[in-house]
Amino acid sequence: MSNWTQTAEARVIREWGLAEIVSPTAPLGAMPELASVRARVRTTGREGLTEADWQILEGEARRTRAPMIDPLLRLAPDWYEGELLIEDLVVARIINYQPFVENAPSRRLDDFCGQPTRDAAEFDRPAMNARPILLGSSLAGPWCLVEGYGRCCRAIRDHRAGRFDGQPIPVIAGVAPRATEWHWWGPVSP
């Protein structure tokens, strides 16, 4: 898709922290000292966060996700906000994380997502606080999903079931000519 606008690295990391704070399985979502920030996000969404809250989210995301973030930032990607069609997400690759690769040896996101549920739609666009983050060698892709697996998989499963709304997904994309050198992009280790 088009309509990409450049954004700052800090915005990307803050978005990552926002996604983590509402996830009960992510490191930030489990930190009791962040309970007040988490409560504000859950009641007022991102609009209720103060600059101090954003700084906390950025700092904690950088600290807890350093093994992913630091090597990614060394590639010096240019960051953009924009939208991708669901078809672009379907063909994105997953990170080189052994439990993920065991579930989807093809390394394709659509193979990783599993099958849709029978009844209700899973993807909740209004409740999507944070944009998924992807990495590619150009704005045309190919893409590797960095952060946002739950949100993207819910959208893909609804797409498979014919329940997806068809609207593009708002994302943040990092573009680095050396994207494939990021060790999380790399080939599966034996």
Tell me the per-residue pLDDT of 66-115, one tens digit each, with 9 for 90 and over. Answer: 999 999 999 999 999 999 999 999 999 999 999 999 999 999 999 999 88
Report the alpha-carbon angle 24-25-27, nearest 5. Answer: 95
pLDDT of residue 190: 36
Residue 37 placed within a domain: yes
For residue 174, which of 32, 105, 71, 65 has the smallest C-alpha distance? 71
> What DSSP state is assigned to residue 93?
B
Model confidence at 189, pLDDT cuts 50, 70, 90, reads very low
- Within-domain flag for 129: yes
SS3 content of the chain, % helix, strand, coil (to 5): 45, 15, 40
| pLDDT (mean) for 129-133 | 91
Position 11 pLDDT exceeds 80: yes
The answer, yes or no, to whether the previous bond of 142 is cis (omega within 30 of 0) is: yes
pLDDT number for residue 2: 60
Q: How far apart are CA 94 and CA 38, in angstroms?
A: 27
Residue 25 lies in a domain: yes
Range of the domain at 94: 5-181
Cα(119)–Cα(21) distance, rounded to whole angstroms?
28
In a domain, 187, yes or no: no
Instruction: Tell me, yes or no, whether 188 lies in a domain.
Output: no
Binned at pLDDT 50, 70 and 90, residue 40 comes out as confident
Looking at the domain assignment, is residue 190 inside a domain?
A: no
* 189 belongs to a structural domain: no
Pick the residue with more confidence: 135 or 47? 135
Nearest to 154 by CA among 82, 86, 93, 65: 86
Q: At CA 23, angle to CA 18 and CA 26, rounded to 5?
A: 95
Question: Span 22-27, mean pLDDT?
Answer: 74
pTM assigned to the model: 0.91
Instruction: Tell me which residue has tokens 């983590």.
Output: 20
Q: Which stretches of the chain are DSSP H helices? A: 9-21, 35-44, 51-64, 66-74, 86-90, 98-103, 109-112, 149-160
How much is the pLDDT for 29? Answer: 66
The residue among 118 and 59 whose pLDDT is bigger is: 59
How far apart (Å, rounded) are the C-alpha atoms in residues 63 and 51?
A: 18
- Split at pLDDT 50, 70, 90, the class of 116 is confident
CA 32 → CA 18, 38, 53, 76, distances in Å?
15, 9, 15, 33
Closest CA to 4 of 77, 90, 87, 95: 77
Q: How many CA atoms lie within 13 A of 29 on its CB side?
A: 10
Total number of domains in the chain: 1
**Which candidate, 102, 86, 95, places its Cα nearest to that of 163?**
86
**54 falls within a domain:** yes
